[in-house]
């Protein structure tokens, strides 16, 4: 039996919950759709959705629980909330960046951040970056920060070169 994750994000979509969860679970390993609930006749005067249409989808991305909700267009995603993807290798950075940014907003890409085609913000971050930015040597950390500020997709080798001086 699956244990309940105490805190999990709920993502509000404008009728795209099923498409979005398929997109996300197709990118990350150890991901799956758990349950789908559908709108019924009850509450139609409030939600206005056709009976039988998808209401919520419980899903996991690499073991992290999420819920997708088909709401309406009144609420939109913004950069105030983002999901951070920690990547061990440049290949993993490249893969996540390519997949998540497909069809997304290219103008919203900077410093490892991107906005996907649903408007959800992601940070694709190599695991070595926080170590560099919080290192004991302030000059090295500042060089790594400066290099990062000039990147869209983060480049591990370039960050390491900047850090080393």
The enclosing domain of 98 has a CATH number of 3.10.180.10
CATH of the domain at 21: 3.30.720.100
Q: Give the model's pLDDT for residue 17.
A: 97
Confirm if 67 and 21 have CB atoms less than 8 A apart.
no
Q: Give the model's pLDDT for residue 3.
A: 60
Q: Residue 16 falls within a domain, yes or no? A: yes
Domain span holding position 105? 82-164
**Does the pTM exceed 0.85?**
yes
d(CA 34, CA 23): 15
Q: Residue 40 falls within a domain, yes or no? A: yes
d(CA 8, CA 15): 20
- Structural domain count, the chain: 2
Q: Give the model's pLDDT for residue 2.
A: 56
Of 70, 100, 119, the one marking the end of a domain is 70
The separation between CA 48 and the C-alpha centre of its own chain, rounded to angstroms, equals 29
Q: Residue 3 falls within a domain, yes or no? A: no
Q: Which residues of the chain have pLDDT under 50?
A: none
Give the start-end residues of each E strand in the chain: 10-13, 32-38, 54-61, 64-70, 82-87, 105-110, 113-115, 121-126
Q: Give the model's pLDDT for residue 64.
A: 95
């Amino acid at each position: 039996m699956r244990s309940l994750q105490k805190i999990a994000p709920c993502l509000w979509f404008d009728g795209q919950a099923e498409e979005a969860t398929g997109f996300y679970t197709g990118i990350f390993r150890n991901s799956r759709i758990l349950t789908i609930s559908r709108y019924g006749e009850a509450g139609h005067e409030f939600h206005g959705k056709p009976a039988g249409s998808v209401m919520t989808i419980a899903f996991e991305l690499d073991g992290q629980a999420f819920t997708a909700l088909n709401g309406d267009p009144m609420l939109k995603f913004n950069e105030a909330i983002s999901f951070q993807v920690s990547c061990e290798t440049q290949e993993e950075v490249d893969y996540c960046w390519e997949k998540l940014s497909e069809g997304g907003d290219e103008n919203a890409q900077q410093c490892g951040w991107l906005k996907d085609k649903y408007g959800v913000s992601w940070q694709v971050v190599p695991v070595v970056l926080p170590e560099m930015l919080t290192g004991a040597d302030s000059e090295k950390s500042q060089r790594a920060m400066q290099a990062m500020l000039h990147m869209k997709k983060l480049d591990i080798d370039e960050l390491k070169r900047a850090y080393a001086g």
